[in-house]
Amino acid sequence: MYLKHFSSRLALAAVVAGASIGTALAQPRSIADCHRIASSAERLACYDSATGRAAPATPAAPTQGTDFVPQDAMARAVALEAPSAKLSILDTAWGFDPSAPKYDVRFYRSNYFLVGRYTDKANVAPYVPLFEAAGEPVHLDKTEAKFQLSFKARFWASEDRRWGLWAAYTQQNQWQVYNDEISRPFRETNYEPEIFAAWHPGMDLGAGFKWNLLTGGFNHQSNGRTDVLSRSWNRLFLEGAVERENLVLSARVWYRIPESDEDDDNPDITDYLGHGQIGALYRWKGNSFSGALRGNVKTGKGAFQAGWYSPPFLGPFRAYVQVFSGYGESMIDYNWKQTTIGAGVALSDGL
């Protein structure tokens, strides 16, 4: 009985003592008391308590539920889902995208091989002296093969690729491949190296058109022949192109660099080939349609060329049909008017 009474008193005393200690701890200390605390964290809490300043609340950690997505992960997801800007025809052809290689080799003009090309009027006149010297009658087939190779190479570009320096080379051949009577010779070969600067203006012109290309430089064109068969000229040129979706329109003007009378093989060449050319290219469902018109307004002489390229049917190869009418299909024919049509395959449509 006595032990039970003593235990009750002891428990009551412990409760009272604990309450007294809690009350003492709850009471604010003086700044002097805080100064004697060794722990920095406890000393700071003491100062806050003594001065009546509440400790800053600890921000709650974000709930890691199914709806929680870190900001950096969300940004990456948005970047992946956002559609990349589609490059235009000219941007792609000329490597104007900043991610394009600084030094680059690309197709320039159309690359094709016409298995058969027929003319309504073969130009035999330039070859008469050669046949006469050989004691042979003049004979050229109206049907021959024709092909063209054309590449451009960028050897300098600005960091944003809007400016570049290029060198280009185009070679066109007319081949009497079906003419076994004269041993199937190449009737004509034209060599056309160029060096020029290219700029991407990126200027909106309205109606959906953008001015995306301006080039200017030097052009040499010749057939590499001598004497009566030699044809050549040198030009300075400026060319611009605008585009709208699948349509590209271009215009090129040139100035012929004068030559001395004794060195000029074709002094009247601008009377037939003119001082400029306009062109168009339209792509539709994998097909490409091209057209070019040049001439001399003063003389009324010029030429027109049109082409159709099918969608690729064997790797990069496409069916190609070409029609030409006028003067200057080749250098040897610069003053010869004819209409030709040919069919074959192509690797590129000129862009």
Instruction: Give the pLDDT confidence score for residue 36 in this predicted structure.
Output: 66
Residue-number span of the structural domain to which 39 is assigned: 14-51
Residue 13 neighbours by CB distance under 10 Å: 10
User: Domain with 102 in it: what CATH number?
Assistant: 2.40.230.10
Q: What does 82-151 look like in DSSP terms, one character per residue?
A: SPPPPPPHHHHHHT-STTS-SSEEEE-S-EEEEEEEEESS---GGGHHHHHHHT------SEEEEEEEEE
Residues in the chain, overall count: 351
Tokens standing for residue 2: 């006595």
Are 278 and 290 a contacting pair, CB within 8 Å? no
Whether residue 329 sits in one domain with residue 188: yes
What pLDDT score does 281 carry?
Answer: 99
**Which token pair is 179?**
């003419």
Same domain, 47 and 180: no
What is the CB neighbour count within 10 angstroms for residue 241? Answer: 22
Q: Please tell me whether residues 214 and 336 are part of one structural domain.
A: yes
SS3 assignment, position 220: strand
H-helix or E-strand spanning residue 350: none
The model's confidence at residue 274, banded by pLDDT at 50, 70 and 90, is very high
22 pLDDT exceeds 60? no
65 occurs within a structural domain = no
279 plus 205 within the same structural domain: yes
Provide the pLDDT for residue 13: 41
- 193 versus 39: which is more confidently predicted? 193
Do 202 and 120 fall into the same domain? Answer: yes
Q: Is residue 209 in a domain?
A: yes
Residues 254 and 331 in one domain: yes
Is 75 a domain residue? no
Compute the distance between CA of residue 336 and CA of residue 187 in angstroms, rounded to an integer: 15
3-state secondary structure 242-282: EEECCEEEEEEEEEECCCCCCCCCCCCHHHHHCCEEEEEEE
Q: Just list the catalytic residues.
A: 220, 222
More confident position, 202 or 1: 202
What's the pLDDT tens digit per position in 111-154?
999 999 999 999 999 988 877 777 677 789 999 999 999 999 99
Question: Do 327 and 232 fall into the same domain?
Answer: yes
pLDDT for residue 252: 99
Regarding whether 178 and 44 lie in a shared domain, the answer is no
Of 193, 274, 268, whose CA–CA distance to 234 is shortest?
Answer: 193
| Least confidently predicted of 103-112, 255-264, 299-308, 324-333 | 255-264
Residue 56 or residue 44, greater confidence = 44
Rounded Cα–Cα distance for residues 288 and 282 (Å) = 6
Please tell me whether residues 179 and 257 are part of one structural domain.
yes
Name the domain count of the chain.
Answer: 2
Residue 157 within a domain: yes
DSSP 181: G
Q: Are residues 47 and 100 in the same domain?
A: no
Read off the pLDDT of residues 154-165 as tens digits, 9 standing for 90 and up.
Answer: 999 999 999 999
141 and 190 inside one domain: yes
Please give the radius of gyration of the chain, using alpha carbons only, rounded to the nearest integer: 42
Considering the domain architecture, whether residues 109 and 230 belong to the same structural domain is answered as yes
Q: Report the candidate in 191, 188, 197, 236 with the shortest Cα–Cα distance to residue 215.
A: 197
How sure is the predictor about 250, in pLDDT bands with cuts at 50, 70 and 90? Answer: very high
Instruction: Give CA–CA dist 113/318, Å, rounded.
Output: 10
Under DSSP, the state recorded for 317 is: B
Q: 64 CB contacts (<8 Å, ≥6 apart)?
A: none
Does any domain span residue 239? yes
Higher pLDDT, 61 or 169: 169
Inside any domain, residue 106: yes
What gap in Å lies between CA 159 and CA 176, rounded to an integer? 47
